Structure 1
Amino acid sequence: MAGRDWNPWRRLLALPNESRTKTVIVAFLVSAVCAALVSGATVVLRPIQTANRAAEEQARIAALVQGIPGMTTLLEQSGGALSTVVIDLTTGRAAAEVTPATLEATLNDATHWTVLDAAQDVAGLGQRPDFAQVFLLRDNDTVSLVLLPISGQGYGGRIDAILALRGDMNTIAGIAVTRHSETPGLGGRIQETSWQGDFPGTELRDENGEMRFAVARGPAATAYEVDGITGATRTGRGVTQMVRFWLGPDGYGPLLDAIQRGSSEPCRKRRPIGPH
């Protein structure tokens, strides 16, 4: 009489296909293999996805800069390159330990985010990162252009954009909306170049330093306004509030103040990047 087969795999295969035990075990094994393959693919593809997102953002930055009148000449005069630096938003100075290469990992740590109270949170973010990567164009020792990533809540969800300011830190040079969830044909028009083209030359603050920027409900009536979008009042309000937040004291305000004072600190530890 043959001895009992103690090999579990052969014993499983020997079970009839109608066996509930065999069905459950095979289903579990297939699920485990599929989960492992999906996890492996995620790990392998994550660097590619990150690189693709970075390339897309660089392309938007390049398009934004090239669309600003006189920028091509300024880039050529300054060597054809922007520089990038990670800013500590609390101080407005270059971050001591965080670089563009380590920024994403740093912000994966919840301790590097600041919770905003209701009075601060005009952009509807809930919390703000402690560090942000900005881009600077210098004309000799003077910052002639700064590109600032900004975000806020619109009608349909989060809006992300890059805002360009001229050297006076009070005049908008351009804007590029990089992500939004607004209604197509209404709020979604914020991604149209025709609407974004209304931003260059718009001023932020009046002579008393009071923030005046706003997306108007209709056609712009002052030097501090851009045209509103018909039927998208809440989207316009969201853009207004995110610009006001990020250029205020809880956003890039300390950095802009330092640049206006002529401080070189925000520009230290900078890394040149090509104009793409």
Structure 2
Amino acid sequence: MSSQKESVVRTLAVALSVCLVCSIFVAGAAVALRPIQVENRQLDKQRSILAIAGIGDSDLSGREVKELFGQRIVARLVDLKTGKFSDAFDPKTFDAAASAKDPKLSQVLPGEQDIASIKRREQYSVVYMVETNGKLDTLILPIRGYGLWSTLYGFLAVKGDLDTIVGLGFYQHGETPGLGGEVDNPKWRALWVNKKLFAEQGNLAVQIVKGNVDPQSPKAVHQVDGLAGATLTSNGVNNLLHFWLGENGFGPFIAKLRAGEA
């Protein structure tokens, strides 16, 4: 074998060895860091729930978030088919997002029902409750739906009257910064506080309007300003709210909870 060929072979062998060592290192690091990543995602979700429920400060440490969440928040599993609480799974460990991909634990949504563009809806979901002496103070519902570029994942918190909004926020999305990404703007999020979900007849009335809400309108109590320059994201948020508060989402559960039958 010529020296030139030996040089090429050695170069390839060294490159292959380096790639192999690096791949083993990266794979090992990924495996080692996975528990930390899972814990951080859980902390982010708990921090988001506390913030939307109006509990605690945004600068809480991870330990403080865990303690406050454990003290103030009660997780309950809900069967979306029956609209009632369920003991089928442990709500502290149940992964609703994973179950939405499981044909045994979810269902395909027909196009006319899938206004939130989620494709499949899980049978079971976890809701979060703030209670005082056994009385419901705040109900926090997980919500998701497609905006312009991404699926938005968040929570809606309502008072114990199951009508008045405490807070709305998203902890994960890929909307355009400065446009659809303004769903994270504290000023826009503040517009939701104390808005009403339902009209006097019990019909779902909450709505994002194009432009600004007319404060003189009798519907103003149900309406929120649209995001400037982000009509499709605004429509997406409006649609996902109507889906999860409707008959294919938490609508039956809210009705049964209001009637004391959940």
After TM superposition, the score normalised by the length of structure 1 is: 0.77
Paired positions, count: 239
Deviation of 1:66 after TM superposition, in Å, equals 2.6
Q: Which amino acid aligns with 2:195?
A: T
Deviation of 1:131 after TM superposition, in Å, equals 2.3
**Are 1:40 and 2:32 counterparts?**
no
The answer to whether the Cα contact below 8 Å between 1:142 and 1:262 also exists between their aligned partners in 2 is no
Q: Relative to 1, partners in 2 of residues 1:34 and 1:80: Cα closer, same or farther, differing over 3 Å?
A: closer
Secondary structure of the 2:211 match is: coil
Deviation of 1:212 after TM superposition, in Å, equals 1.8
How much identity, in percent, do the aligned residues show?
A: 33
- Mark the runs of 5 or more structure 1 residues left unpaired by the alignment: 1-15, 69-78, 266-276
Q: Report matched runs for 1:152-171 at 5 Å.
A: 152-171=145-164
Q: Relative to 1, partners in 2 of residues 1:183 and 1:19: Cα closer, same or farther, differing over 3 Å?
A: closer
Q: What is residue 83 of structure 1 aligned with on the other side?
A: 74
Q: Which amino acid aligns with 1:239?
A: V
Q: Which amino acid aligns with 2:77?
A: V
| Larger mean Cα displacement after TM superposition, 96-105 or 197-206 | 96-105
Q: Relative to 1, partners in 2 of residues 1:216 and 1:88: Cα closer, same or farther, differing over 3 Å?
A: same
Secondary structure of the 2:253 match is: helix
Deviation of 1:19 after TM superposition, in Å, equals 5.4
**Are 1:211 and 2:204 counterparts?**
yes
Q: Relative to 1, partners in 2 of residues 1:107 and 1:184: Cα closer, same or farther, differing over 3 Å?
A: closer
State how far apart, in whole Å, the 2-side matches of 1:43 and 1:95 are. Answer: 34
Q: What is residue 187 of structure 1 aligned with on the other side?
A: 180
- Mark the runs of 5 or more structure 2 residues left unpaired by the alignment: 57-69
Q: Relative to 1, partners in 2 of residues 1:156 and 1:209: Cα closer, same or farther, differing over 3 Å?
A: same
Q: Report matched runs for 1:2-151 at 5 Å.
A: 17-18=6-7, 20=9, 24=12, 26-66=14-54, 81-104=72-95, 107=98, 110-111=102-103, 112-151=105-144
The answer to whether the Cα contact below 8 Å between 2:53 and 2:138 also exists between their aligned partners in 1 is no
The answer to whether the Cα contact below 8 Å between 2:78 and 2:86 also exists between their aligned partners in 1 is yes
The answer to whether the Cα contact below 8 Å between 1:98 and 1:106 also exists between their aligned partners in 2 is no
Secondary structure of the 1:149 match is: strand
Q: Relative to 1, partners in 2 of residues 1:105 and 1:186: Cα closer, same or farther, differing over 3 Å?
A: closer
The answer to whether the Cα contact below 8 Å between 1:64 and 1:175 also exists between their aligned partners in 2 is yes
The answer to whether the Cα contact below 8 Å between 1:169 and 1:260 also exists between their aligned partners in 2 is yes
Deviation of 1:37 after TM superposition, in Å, equals 2.5
Deviation of 1:229 after TM superposition, in Å, equals 2.0
Output one character per residue of 1:178-209: Cα deviation in whole Å (capped at 9) or x when no partner.
12222222221110111111111211221222
Deviation of 1:51 after TM superposition, in Å, equals 0.4
Q: Relative to 1, partners in 2 of residues 1:105 and 1:135: Cα closer, same or farther, differing over 3 Å?
A: closer
Secondary structure of the 1:18 match is: helix
Q: Which amino acid aligns with 2:93?
A: T
Q: What is residue 228 of structure 2 aligned with on the other side?
A: 230
State how far apart, in whole Å, the 2-side matches of 1:104 and 1:26 are. Answer: 44
State how far apart, in whole Å, the 1-side matches of 2:260 and 2:132 are. Answer: 13
Please report the RMSD computed on the Cα atoms of aligned residues, expressed in angstroms: 2.6
The answer to whether the Cα contact below 8 Å between 2:54 and 2:166 also exists between their aligned partners in 1 is no
Secondary structure of the 2:95 match is: helix
The answer to whether the Cα contact below 8 Å between 1:143 and 1:259 also exists between their aligned partners in 2 is no
Deviation of 1:148 after TM superposition, in Å, equals 0.8
Secondary structure of the 2:116 match is: coil
Deviation of 1:24 after TM superposition, in Å, equals 4.9
Deviation of 1:52 after TM superposition, in Å, equals 0.4
State how far apart, in whole Å, the 1-side matches of 2:110 and 2:165 are. Answer: 28
Q: Which of 222, 242, 245 does residue 244 from structure 1 map onto?
A: 242
The answer to whether the Cα contact below 8 Å between 2:206 and 2:222 also exists between their aligned partners in 1 is yes
Q: Which amino acid aligns with 1:193?
A: P
Task: Give the structure with higher Rg (CA).
Answer: 1
Deviation of 1:106 after TM superposition, in Å, equals 8.4
State how far apart, in whole Å, the 2-side matches of 1:232 and 1:66 are. Answer: 27
